[in-house]
Amino acid sequence: MASSEQEEQAAALLGPKVEEAYTTDGSLDVDGNPALKHRTGGWRACRSILGTEFCYCLAYYGITFNLVTYLTTELHQSNVAAANNVSTWQATCFLTPLVGAVVADSYWGRYPTMVVTCCIGVAGMLMAALSALLPLLIKDTSTVSMASAQESVLFLGLYMIAFGVGGLRPCILSFGADQFDDGDPSERMSKGSFFNWYIFTMNCASVISTTGTVWVQDHYGWALGLGIPAMVLAVGLSFLVAASRLYRFQTTRGSPLTRVCQVVVAAVCKFNVAPPADVALLYELPEDACSMKGVPRIEHTSDLRFFDKAAIVTASDEEAVGAARRNPWRLCIVTQVEELKILVRMLPLWACVAFYYTATVQANSTFVEQGMAMDARVGSLLVPPASLATFQVLTTIVLIPLYDRVFVPAARRFTGREKGISDLLRIGGGLAMAVLAMVAAALVEMKRVRAVQTGMEPTSILWQAPQYMLVGVGELLATIGQLDFFYSQAPPAMKTVCTALGFLSIAAGEYLSSLVVTAVSWATTTGGRPGWIPDDLNEGHLDLFFWMMAGLGCLNLLVFTSCAMRYKSRKAC
């Protein structure tokens, strides 16, 4: 009797410790068993993930930054054709992550998706390097046919890279965040830091690519310059695979797009059915149901009531449920309805973030054109206008450690928030930085034009540094904040898809920027006028364009603030 009592006491003492040893979010280890906290996940797993991210960015940017030069000098394309080819390819690289996210969340899972698409990316980069080797391998052919063969091999490789990016971009970010258990307060705080160090790693790789890789391409030839990115990405793949036993894995729960469509179809079919006054009457599976195992419930919310119609149990539904033949296109569970509500609530905020990138993308276009009209001499050096973007990258690199190690702990003591400030407040600060960057650019342009008109010394290109630095601060706040926000607010079954929304907002911002510039050019050149952005900026009003972007940015910030104040946040999953 005494021994049994002792065993019960020992079990009572050991029980919590055994339970404490496992993660609380349902994650598994590589063998499919519940993940142990002290053996998997955390920073021990994220070091290799960040190493893969560094190699991927180093390889990708090593091709991206100088691709237009390769197309014009080696393949003899015109400036317009080369620019269009690069723009189309980059836009594709921002659209494919949505496809990769759906595949990862629906079928393969994040880790297998990353491994497969990374292999495709390595093969694509080898094809790009092969395009530069062809003239050395095949010499008995005409220049025209050789250029045609090189183009075919190159573009096949580039679009293989685009599919590789489509799997890596959304999965590596969400997979890294999966390594931290939200049920553990210390790990939950570390997850916020992970997003900061993710962008830090990306910017460090960007700096090395713009200097070292481009230098190799210009001085040692394109065969080596395009071969290095392939080797670097292969190293990143080895980092990812070598640490597989340290990772925590989340199970897939079916196609998120199918789940969303089921709610919409079911709600439309019951358009004339009124939702019940008692929300407890809405359909939900019991927690012990097989299909609900490992799926956290999402509590019912009172807004967007139209979608609640999808969970109303009608007479025909009762017969089907009783016979265990529920049609998911006619009757959905409350958790599934709430998943769609979360996506709908995020869409206005996503649109505001997309417009933020419409402003910041000017750093790669109109900022450079402005710098080309300024005095690029700094002492005895002649600074390329595009090199001013270094101020943007360095600002982000310097501020991320300060934000993560100094600002967040200090803000946490005042606000009580684990991240110091909310994600929405952080994004709003980034949107404000974009407005200030446009104001700074407008003031610099006014100063430059005044110097030209009065015959004064040309304005130094270094006057552009503040506007680039403000864009860098905006990236620290808005870019990292929106990635963290979309991941933490996403339903468990849609983590990768919602992460891809962050990258999709960048593509949407670039497309919208092109539309805005085209519209401004059309509206301001009527009647034979030179317009705001002519080839000779001294004849135009680039300052008015920047003031217009600042005004639109203020309006965007007001809309974002209104949406953020009404947004109903949910706990991270």
pLDDT digits (tens, 9 = 90+) for 410-466: 998 888 888 889 889 999 999 999 999 999 999 999 999 888 888 788 888 899 999
**The last residue of a domain, from among 246, 273, 299:** 246
Range of the domain at 361: 343-566
User: Residue 15: inside a domain, yes or no?
Assistant: no
Residues 226 and 275 grouped into a single domain: no
Residues 296 and 394 in one domain: no
Tally of domains in the chain? 3
Instruction: Tell whether 291 and 440 lie within a shared domain.
Output: no
Closest CA to 464 of 449, 479, 443: 443
Q: Are 306 and 265 in contact (CB under 8 A)?
A: no
Count the alpha carbons within 13 Å of 444 in the hemisphere toward its beta carbon: 26
- Indicate whether 571 belongs to any domain: no
pLDDT, tens only, 538-561: 888 888 989 999 999 999 999 999
List pLDDT tens digits, range 463-492: 999 999 999 999 999 988 998 898 888 887
Say yes or no: 387 and 514 in one domain.
yes
Count of alpha carbons within 13 angstroms of residue 185, beta-carbon side: 3
Same domain, 216 and 313: no
| Alpha helical stretches, state H, 323-464 | 334-360, 366-372, 389-402, 408-415, 423-454
Quote the tokens at residue 8: 């019960």
My answer on whether 170 and 239 are in the same domain is yes
Domain final residue pick, 291, 308, 338: 338
Same domain for 240 and 313, yes or no, is no
Q: Which of 499, 437, 555 is nearest to 166 (CA)?
A: 499
> Which phi and psi angles does 272 have, rounded to 5°?
-90, 0
Say if CB 332 and CB 262 are below 8 A apart. yes
Whether the Cβ atoms of residue 313 and residue 283 lie closer than 8 Å to each other: yes
Residues 463 and 328 in one domain: no
Residue 105's closest CA among 275, 219, 323, 252? 252
Same domain, 237 and 267: no
The verdict on residue 465 lying in a domain is yes
CB atoms within 10 A of CB 139: 8
* Tokens matching residue 320: 């089907």
Q: For residue 235, what is the domain's CATH number? A: 1.20.1250.20
Averaged in consecutive runs of 10 residues, what is the pLDDT profile of the chain (573 residues)? 42 44 81 86 90 92 80 73 72 83 84 93 92 76 68 89 88 88 80 86 86 80 89 93 90 79 90 83 68 66 86 77 70 87 91 90 78 82 78 90 90 86 92 95 91 85 92 91 87 80 81 82 80 80 90 95 86 44
> At 298, which amino acid appears?
I
CA gap 347, 351 in Å, rounded: 6
Report pLDDT for 184: 80
Q: 519 in a domain, yes or no?
A: yes
Residue among 128, 88, 230, 109 nearest 167 (CA)? 109
Over the stretch 269-301, which tens digit does the pLDDT of each residue have?
Answer: 888 888 888 888 888 876 655 455 556 778 888
Write phi, then psi, for 36 (nearest 5 degrees). Answer: -85, 135
Note whether residue 27 is domain-resident.
no
| pLDDT (0 to 100) of residue 13 | 42
Strands 381-382 and 377-378: antiparallel
Q: Which of 114, 390, 380, 353 has the alpha carbon at shortest distance from 241?
A: 114
Helix or strand run (H / E) with residue 378 = strand 377-378
Within a domain: residue 156? yes
Distance separating the N- and C-terminal Cα atoms of the chain: 45
3-state helix, strand, coil in the chain (%, to 5): 75, 0, 25
Q: Among 318, 338, 358, which residue terminates a domain? A: 338
414 and 524 inside one domain? yes
CB burial of 189-205 (b: ≥16 within 10 Å; e: otherwise) equals bbbbbbbbbbbbbbbbb
Within-domain flag for 31: no
Dihedral (CA of 272, 275, 276, 277) sign: negative
DSSP label of 25: S
Asked if 412 and 539 sit in the same domain, the reply is yes
| 6 is a domain residue | no
In angstroms, rounded to a whole number, what is the distance separating the alpha carbons of residues 154 and 72? 13
**225 and 186 in one domain?**
yes
Contacts of 368 (CB under 8 A, 6+ apart): 385, 386, 388
